[in-house]
Amino acid sequence: MPRISESTVRRLSHYDRVLEEVQAEGKRMISSHRLAEREGITSAQVRKDLSTFGSFGRRGLGYNVERLRAEIRAILGLDRRWRVALVGAGNIGSALVAYRGFEKQGFDVVAVFDRDPARVGHRLGRHTVQDIAALPAAVRDHSFDIGVVATPIQAAQSVVDALVAAGVRGILNFAPRKLFVPENVALRTVDMAMEFEGLSFAITQASVRRAPGRLRARAGSAARRARE
Amino acid sequence: MPRISESTVRRLSHYDRVLEEVQAEGKRMISSHRLAEREGITSAQVRKDLSTFGSFGRRGLGYNVERLRAEIRAILGLDRRWRVALVGAGNIGSALVAYRGFEKQGFDVVAVFDRDPARVGHRLGRHTVQDIAALPAAVRDHSFDIGVVATPIQAAQSVVDALVAAGVRGILNFAPRKLFVPENVALRTVDMAMEFEGLSFAITQASVRRAPGRLRARAGSAARRARE
DNA sequence: TATTGTGAAAGGGTTCACAGCG
DNA sequence: CGCTGTGAACCCTTTCACAATA
């Protein structure tokens, strides 16, 4: 089994969604070409992606929608439910609990923690916010599969360490900093500030490209300043 | 000027943060090696990244912290302020308005829109939620640089079209679907469900790798089932 | 004829390694 | 001697193109 790239995994998620739609439309079979066009990629990419996990199609006919979806969901681990511990009952944490869309995919927030005494003991959706110190004890009641870090930057690494000690095997991080986890723990970071900055960069570049004179002027003066 | 990859832009954002820290520590110069180690990448990568934009360092000495940071912020377009229109005053939208961290980086939410009559007219932070129909008129008062889509999936594409018509040049999308924008408009999507699924995949794979017997058994039965 | 599965080719990003310079 | 800037080598991902098959 070759190492699977993150982009391949992302596309598997997309395929699942497209297949859900197609299934709702009542289609029985789908070709790699049609699976690709809804996603803006090539049909070869679709076939390559799928072929790393098995031979799910039939030449001349395409893929059976229902069965392919079941395969992909099994590969992604969406054929089971996941117990999620949320740390940080602030803005993002509250939004995550309020947005129930993740439950549909099998991710259940089963406990919410925070360090702020002003929040501990209060209700958040169906949960009562617990003190972060209660995390180790909470593991005895029900183990957690995934931890979500929705705390301020400064607290993030220590929260990660606590979650790892609590036995989670994956962490979704919303704090805008690099975190360190043991290699047997999966980590994904959602960094919204970085996404804004990516847009800012793209817009800025588009402008300087349209007016290359300004680019050279800017880069020039910048380089001059940089020379101390 | 070569095409800049998304990963390079992400790293530039990281460099900016590391430089901010290093600056706070009072350091005057920094080497590509030290810039790299805080981020878990190679020093060669740092130098390659920076060299696509200019020669900001001095051989034998490294980079001047303050000046390099100014260069990077200018490249990312963080030397100005950005006017952001938020569409969708639900969970994520509310969290974004409440979280003031983006303002620090220059991104100001200047207007909030929603389609739900129950929300229109109500206050959200310092804003009054306006009907999405008011978007075209609002542009006359103050133009928007960036639009944020924090609506349900079904509304997302039409909101994007409205934002594009309103003249935004970048869109940050939180709806879990593929969106289409003209090529002169930048698009970034934050798909939290997909991040959860990425974790689910990684954890699942780690298990089957540790017990390869189960993998083969599973893949086998799956392949059999797929054959109709 | 339609479409998959897959080696081979192409493309793009990362790392190496060293010349050039302070 | 230390560190940058960069061409060349390497590696990983995507695309091509076609034999195999329904």
User: What whole-number distance in Å separates Cα of residue A223 and Cα of residue A209?
Assistant: 18
User: What whole-number distance in Å separates Cα of residue A54 and Cα of residue A86?
Assistant: 35
Rg of chain B over Cα atoms, rounded to whole angstroms, equals 23
Nearest protein residue to nucleotide D3, judged by CA and C1' positions: B60
Q: What DSSP designation does B185 have?
A: S
Closest CA to B166 of B131, B187, B135: B135
What value does the mean pLDDT take over residues B118-129? Answer: 97
Distance from CA of B102 to the nearest CA of A (A): 6
User: What whole-number distance in Å separates Cα of residue B135 and Cα of residue B210?
Assistant: 54
3-state secondary structure chain A: CCCCCHHHHHHHHHHHHHHHHHHHCCCCEECHHHHHHCCCCCHHHHHHHHHCCCCCEECCCEEEHHHHHHHHHHHHCCCCCEEEEEECCCHHHHHHHHCCHHHHCCEEEEEEEECCCCCCCCEECCEECEEHHHHHHHHHHCCCCEEEECCCHHHHHHHHHHHHHCCCCEEEECCCCCCCCCCCCEEEECCHHHHHHHHHHHHHHHHHHHCHHHHHHHHHHHHHHHCC
Give the nearest chain A residue to B36 (CA atoms): A178
User: Residue A214 pLDDT more than 70?
Assistant: no
Q: What is the pLDDT of residues A83-101, one digit of tens each?
A: 999 999 999 999 999 998 8
Sign of the four-CA dihedral B130, B134, B139, B142: negative
Nucleotide nearest residue B41, measured CA to C1': C14
User: Residue A66 pLDDT more than 70?
Assistant: yes
What value does the mean pLDDT take over residues B204-209? Answer: 87
- Report, in ranges, which bases of strand D sit under 7 Å from a protein C-beta: 1-7, 12-17, 20-22
Degrees to nearest 5, angle at CA B218 with B212 and B219:
90
**pLDDT at residue A221, rounded to an integer:** 33
Question: Which two structure tokens, joined as six digits, stand for B219?
Answer: 């893949």
- Please report, rounded to a whole number, the percentage of residues in chain B having pLDDT higher than 70: 92
- Enter the pTM of the model: 0.92
Whether B9 sits inside 8 A of A38 (CB atoms) is no
Q: What is the pLDDT of residues B57-102, one digit of tens each?
A: 999 999 999 999 999 999 999 999 999 999 999 999 999 999 988 9
Between strands A146-149 and A82-87, the pairing is parallel
The pair phi, psi for residue B27, each rounded to 5°, is: -70, 145
**pLDDT at residue A15, rounded to an integer:** 97
- Residue A91: its chain B contacts at CB < 8 A? 94-96, 98-99
| DSSP 3-state of B114 | strand
A147 touches A129 (CB < 8 A): no
User: Residue B220 pLDDT more than 60?
Assistant: no
Check whether residue A64 has its CB closer than 7 Å to nucleic acid strand D: no
**pLDDT at residue A138, rounded to an integer:** 95
- Residue A64: its chain B contacts at CB < 8 A? 226, 228
- Compare CB distances from A196 to B14, B105, B205 and report the shortest one's residue: B105
User: Residue A212 pLDDT more than 60?
Assistant: no
- Report, in ranges, which bases of strand C sit under 7 Å from a protein C-beta: 1-7, 12-17, 20-22
Q: What is the largest CA-CA distance in chain A?
A: 67
Question: Which two structure tokens, joined as six digits, stand for A76?
Answer: 């992604």
The DSSP element (H or E) to which B70 belongs, if any, is helix B65-76
**pLDDT at residue A39, rounded to an integer:** 83
**pLDDT at residue B100, rounded to an integer:** 86
Degrees to nearest 5, angle at CA B36 with B33 and B40:
135
User: Residue B212 pLDDT more than 60?
Assistant: no
Q: Tokens 């920076």 correspond to what residue?
A: B50
Check whether residue A27 has its CB closer than 7 Å to nucleic acid strand C: no
Compute how many other C-beta atoms are within 10 angstroms of the C-beta atom of residue A130: 20
Size of interface A-B (CB pairs under 8 A): 225
Q: What is the pLDDT of residues B10-21, one digit of tens each?
A: 999 999 999 999
User: What whole-number distance in Å separates Cα of residue B1 and Cα of residue B183?
Assistant: 19
User: What whole-number distance in Å separates Cα of residue A121 and Cα of residue A72?
Assistant: 40
Q: What is the pLDDT of residues A33-50, one digit of tens each?
A: 999 998 889 999 999 999
Check whether residue A57 has its CB closer than 7 Å to nucleic acid strand C: yes
Beta strand spans in chain B (E): 29-30, 57-58, 62-64, 82-87, 107-114, 123-124, 127-128, 130-131, 146-149, 170-173, 186-189
What value does the mean pLDDT take over residues A51-57? Answer: 98
User: Residue A73 pLDDT more than 90?
Assistant: yes
User: Residue A111 pLDDT more than 90?
Assistant: yes
Average pLDDT over chain A, rounded to an integer: 91
**pLDDT at residue A222, rounded to an integer:** 36
User: Residue B225 pLDDT more than 50?
Assistant: no
